[in-house]
Amino acid sequence: HIIPGRKNLLRARMSSFLIFAILLVMMPFTLWKAAAQDRDFYKILGVSRKASDKEIKKAYRKLSLQYHPDKNPSEDASSKFADVAAAYECLSDEEKRKTYDRYGEEGLQKMEARQNAGGGGDPFSSMFEAFGFGGFGGRRGRGDGERRTPDLTLPLRVSLRQLYLGDIFDMTYIREVLCTNHGECEKNCPDCHGPGVRVKTQQLAPGFVQQVQASDPNCVARGKCWRRGCKACPNGQTETEQISLTVDLAPGLAEGDNIRFEGVASEQIGHIPGDLVLLVAPIRHEYFERRGDDLHTTINIPLKDALVGFSTEINHLDGHKVLLRKEDVTYFGQVVKIRGEGMPKKGGTGGFGDMYVECSITFPAQLSEEQKASLREIL
């Protein structure tokens, strides 16, 4: 026998479940229809759907320079540049890429809308939560207050051309890592109160004791110390490891900027590894000097061109030609500003600094009497 109130409640729940089931059945068709009108971000960047992060970044760098409105005067450059930026923003983010691969651009937009409104990452998670199926999994974070090994800072020698275009390249790095069998070489030591810390108890007088803290490299954790001469780790607590890192050099980085690799500094028992920090150290260029976002260079022009005007081309860092035309008199040391031909500005803003060209005048070694007379008449 079912009580009428509970019967109505059961009927309402069954109706909700049927609606939920219908939505689940219809959802793939709705998403497929929307996806048919979505932009193909992989096609825009010219990469496969299995492309690595490195391939996606390289494609983006190439196309963003190709279609940048400041560099490309064609009518469709701005729209293509926007498409390239949107494609990279999606495919360079692991969560956004997963959502896009599964639900298309419309699903991605729904996810972003929910995140902006304070919702979760899955655009359809609220549907499950509404029927009591929410709350799967959780986030895990690294605890605070843990001992860390020191960060390691190294110079990163790169060319001015690399800083102009951006670059992605691999580098090898040698660090110290814990011996694979280090657990077999630890023994119980009650006096150890943490990595490198031993506490000794001294009796000052009958009934009076004092605890003295001292440094001891053999202490590897609280209550644990290292067994010297342990055969499981013949080289000691650590051993040498060579790892490969992919350096992503964004366009516009400057001297002193850093690229950080978290948790890849040398390891030590009882510590979490610190970070490797690469400090950008530009190699001096033969012709250009960088000052902020601007480029400075010097050209030599004959005295004749300084007097009557000239036109010349300057080879830029990426190989394109920068035209400099001057029709009036040029004096020695005059600086000409060319807008938008400097370094790209950091942060992906799309702007560029300026180029400043200093004119140095080359004088003839000597003049004939006839040339002197002609100059006196003209000047």
In the chain, where the domains are located: 4-130, 152-179+237-282, 182-226, 289-378
**Mean pLDDT per 10-residue segment, the chain (379 residues):** 49 55 49 55 89 85 79 81 87 86 79 64 43 40 61 95 93 90 88 86 75 86 87 89 91 94 87 92 96 96 93 95 94 95 84 96 88 82
Cα→Cα distances 63→85, 87, 110, 147, 208, Å: 9, 11, 27, 44, 76
Question: What is the per-residue pLDDT for 141?
Answer: 39
CATH fold label, 289-378: HSP40/DNAj peptide-binding domain (2.60.260)
Among positive and negative, which fits the CA dihedral 8, 12, 13, 18? Answer: positive
Question: What is the per-residue pLDDT for 12?
Answer: 53
- What's the CATH architecture for 4-130? Orthogonal Bundle (1.10)
Contact 90, 31 (CB under 8 A): no
Retrieve residue 267's tokens.
């390891």
- Among 137, 116, 114, 138, CA closest to 126: 114
367: Cβ contacts below 8 Å, ≥ 6 apart:
375
CA 209 to centroid of chain Cα atoms: 55
Domain 152-179+237-282 classification at class level: mainly beta
Q: What is the pTM of this model?
A: 0.59
Residue 182, classified by CB atoms within 10 Å of its CB into exposed (0-12), middle (13-18) or buried (19+), is buried
Question: What is the per-residue pLDDT for 129?
Answer: 39
303: Cβ contacts below 8 Å, ≥ 6 apart:
361, 362, 363, 364
Question: What is the per-residue pLDDT for 54?
Answer: 82
Q: Could you give the maximum distance between any two Cα atoms of the chain, in Å? A: 129
Question: What is the per-residue pLDDT for 257?
Answer: 94
Contact 154, 162 (CB under 8 A): no
Question: What is the per-residue pLDDT for 39?
Answer: 85
Residue 185, helix vs strand vs coil: helix
151: Cβ contacts below 8 Å, ≥ 6 apart:
265, 274, 275, 276, 277
In this chain, the answer to whether the domains covering 152-179+237-282 and 289-378 adopt an identical fold is: yes
What's the distance, Cα to Cα, between the start and end of the chain in Å? 120
* Residue 356 amino acid letter: Y
